[in-house]
Structure formats: C-alpha cells, structure tokens
Amino acid sequence: MPKDTKYVAKQPDENGFIAYSDAENAVWRDLVAQQQPSVNALAARAFLEGQKKLNLPTDRVPQCVEVSQVLTDLTGWKVEPVPALIGFSRFFKMLSECTFPAASFIRDRESFDYIEEPDIFHEIYGHTPLLTDARFAKFSQFIGKTGLVCDKADYAWLIRLYWFTVEFGLIKEGETIKALGSGLASSPSELGHAIHEPSVVRKPFDVIDILRTPYRIDINQPIYFVLESVDQLLETCQRDLLADIANARSLGLHAPTYPEKTNVSE
C-alpha cells in the first residue's frame, strides 16, 4: 500500500451512511459496467455466487451498512468504513473480529483503470462476494487471528498468504483455471492477464512456497498460485502458520521475478 494518498476518507453519518456525489456514483456505475462482463467470463463460481447473494447496486456506491446486513445473516461478517491506509495490526484485528475494513472513498476518473491504494470499488465489489461463503470467511478470520499472535516482523510474511489467495488467487474448475482473488475481480487489466497471459507462471498452491514469494502491489503479477479446490484453504486453517513462517524465514525469500521499483526523487 502506498505511504500517502491524494484521497480523503469519507465519514459516515450517525446511521452509517456516506453521502456520495452523483459523480462518484457514476464512477461506480461505469466501473461495474466495464468489469462485469469479464468477471462473468473469468471469475470462479464462488465469486459469482457471492455476487448473486449480495445483489449489489450497479448504479451507485453501495453503503457498508447495507452490505453488512446481508453478510451478517450469511456468515456473521460486517463491513466497516476506514481510511485508505491502515496498518497491518489494525487490519488483522478487524479480520479476527469478522469485520472487513473498507476504504470509504472511490477513485476519480483520472485513476479509473488503475489505482494503487484500495478504494471502495475494490473493497465492496472485489472482496465482499467471497465473504458470503463461510469457507472464505473462515479463512479470512484465521489470517486475522494469526496476525494477532505473530510478531510484527512476521506481518510481511503472513500477508503473502492473504495476497496470493484472497487478493490474487486462482482456482481450478474442472480443466479450467478461474480467477478467485478480489484484486483480480476488481482490476480491469489484471483479470485477463492472470488467466490468459502466456508469460505468467501459475504454480500449485503451497503454503511455504507462497510465504517465500515476494510481490509488488503496483504491477500485474508475474506469478499466481492455483488452488485445486477451496478445501485447500480450509486445510490451511488447521496449520500452525507461525511454524510455517519460521520455516519460510529459514529458507529465505525466492528471488523476485520482477524488476525492482525505481524511486524517482524530485
């Protein structure tokens, strides 16, 4: 996540509602119209089924309280608006409490096709469909609970497991690979890249391998991990992730398969 952002968090009223402008609602409408055909074609069944359960509005930004009502009935989760940038400790704590943190702003037209920080389109359109499924809800809470007990120095190791599954995971459906991750579902460019790009490396799901794989947040990923089934995530919830992180640390990170980011000073 970038260290600073041009966006300002929008504050909910006493009833939890946020006043979005007509222009902001139009951005949501146009993002959904652009993204949904690709999602219909390339997203995993679990994601598409979650979309149907949520029945999100297509013509305006959904309200967190509305989404929470559906999620609470289905899996006991809720969505809470937060600033764009929160630390890992708060993020893990919220997940452990079955609360998904949703950045309350929506991108502007200038950043329509790509935004580095998560906005409410990524959070609601991308993340909440999987949280209607008890299996993904359980896995997300497990990541949060693990984050509460691991050392801060291990946060970067733990978040890789979330990144390569909930955010950018792939899954097999028969002989076809489908997009599972929320970052893929909400990305106009990376969804097709993850499924069709010949240069992409699609590796079998393996916890230790994932923990050792570095990534950049500002590029289309060169590596994805493919689940054979959601059962692999449930099996992960039975693992001692602290021991896995220690094991991964002892083995060390894999060499990056992407160029290092260049910081240009003004």
For residue range 11-25, list pLDDT tens digits in order: 999 999 999 999 999
Distance between CA atoms of residues 181 and 185, nearest Å? 6
Instruction: Answer yes or no: is pLDDT of 5 > 70.
Output: no
The DSSP 8-state label assigned to residue 198 in this structure reads: T
Q: In the predicted model, what is the mean pLDDT of the chain?
A: 94
Task: State residue 4's pLDDT score.
Answer: 59
Give binding residues for Fe cation as ranges.
Answer: 122, 127, 167
Confidence of residue 264 (pLDDT cuts 50, 70, 90): very low
Share of the chain above pLDDT 70, in %: 96
Distance between CA atoms of residues 215 and 190, nearest Å? 14
Helix (H, G, I), strand (E, B) or coil at 83: coil
Tell me, rounded to whole angstroms, the distance of Cα 143 from its chain centroid: 13
For residue range 130-149, list pLDDT tens digits in order: 999 999 999 999 999 999 99
Give binding residues as ranges.
Answer: 122, 127, 167
**CA geometry: angle at 217 spanning 67 and 200, to 5°?**
105
Domains of the chain in start order, with CATH, are 22-251 (1.10.800.10)
**pTM for the full model?**
0.93
Q: How large is the C-alpha radius of gyration of the chain?
A: 18
Please measure the distance between the N-terminal and C-terminal CA atoms of the chain and give it in whole angstroms.
21
Q: Where are the alpha helices (DSSP H) in 122-240?
A: 134-149, 155-162, 182-185, 190-196, 207-211, 231-236
Confidence of residue 263 (pLDDT cuts 50, 70, 90): low
Q: What residues have CB less than 8 Å from 85, skipping those under 6 apart?
A: 1, 2, 3, 4, 5, 117
